[in-house]
Amino acid sequence: MLGVVIAVIILAAAAMSLAKWNKETARKQAAEVLGSLLVNAKGETAAAELEAFAQAAPEPVRTGAMLSLAELLMASEEYAKAADVWAGIALKASQPMKTTAGIGQAQALVLAGKAQEALALVRTLEQGAPASFEKSLLRLKAQAAEAAGEYQDAIAAWATMMEKESSQQTAFYRQVMARLELLKAEKKSS
C-alpha cells in the first residue's frame, strides 16, 4: 500500500513538472514568434499581424505584443486605435503597468484630438498612480489641459512642476505659464 501511495505522489509530481515545462516552452515559443513579427512585419499588415498574435499569445508575451502594437499604432499616427489598445492593456494590468498604459492612452487621446477625455483620464490616474509617475502625469496634465483650452489647469500643472524642479527649469516654466496666461486672456475676451 505504501508503494502505491509513493507511486501516486511521484506521478503527480511528474505531471506537475511536465505541465510547468509545457507552459514555459509555450512562453518561449511565443516570445520567439513575437520577436520575429517585430523584426519582419512591415507596412499596413504589421498591426493586424501583431493584434492576431496577441489574442492567442500566453501571458506575459501577450502584454508585450499589445505594448508593441500600441507603439506601432502611435508611430503610424493611428491615435484612436492606439488609445483603445492602451486602454485594453490598462484594464488587465496591475501597477505600475496600469499607470504606464493609462499615460499611453492619454497621450494617444490628446493626439487624436480628444483632449477633454485625456484630461479626465489623467485626473483619474493621478489618484492611484505610484509617486514615481508624478512628473510624467503633471506634464501630461499640462499638455492635455492646454489642448482642451483649460488654461488655468495647465498653468497650475506647470506651476506645480516648477515647485518640484531645479532652478534651471524655472525660466522655461515661467515662459510657458506666461504664454498660457495670454491664451487664457484671449479666450476670455472672445
**Spacing of C-alpha 67 from chain mean position:** 7
87/110 Cα distance (integer angstroms): 14
* Tens of each residue's pLDDT in the chain, 190 residues: 555 556 456 555 555 554 455 456 555 655 565 565 555 566 677 788 888 878 888 887 888 889 989 998 999 999 999 999 999 999 999 999 999 999 999 999 999 999 999 999 999 999 989 999 999 999 999 999 999 999 999 999 999 999 887 777 888 889 999 999 999 999 888 8
What residue ranges define each of the domains in the chain, with the CATH number in brackets? 2-150 (1.25.40.10)
Name the residue with cell 492646454.
Answer: 146
* H-type alpha helices, the chain: 2-40, 45-56, 61-75, 79-92, 97-111, 115-128, 134-147, 151-164, 170-189
* pLDDT at residue 136 in the model: 95
* pLDDT at residue 57 in the model: 82
Query: What's the pTM value of the predicted model, to 2 decimals?
Result: 0.77
* pLDDT at residue 7 in the model: 46
Query: What is the crossing angle of helices 97-111 and 61-75, to 10°?
Result: 20
43/124 Cα distance (integer angstroms): 35
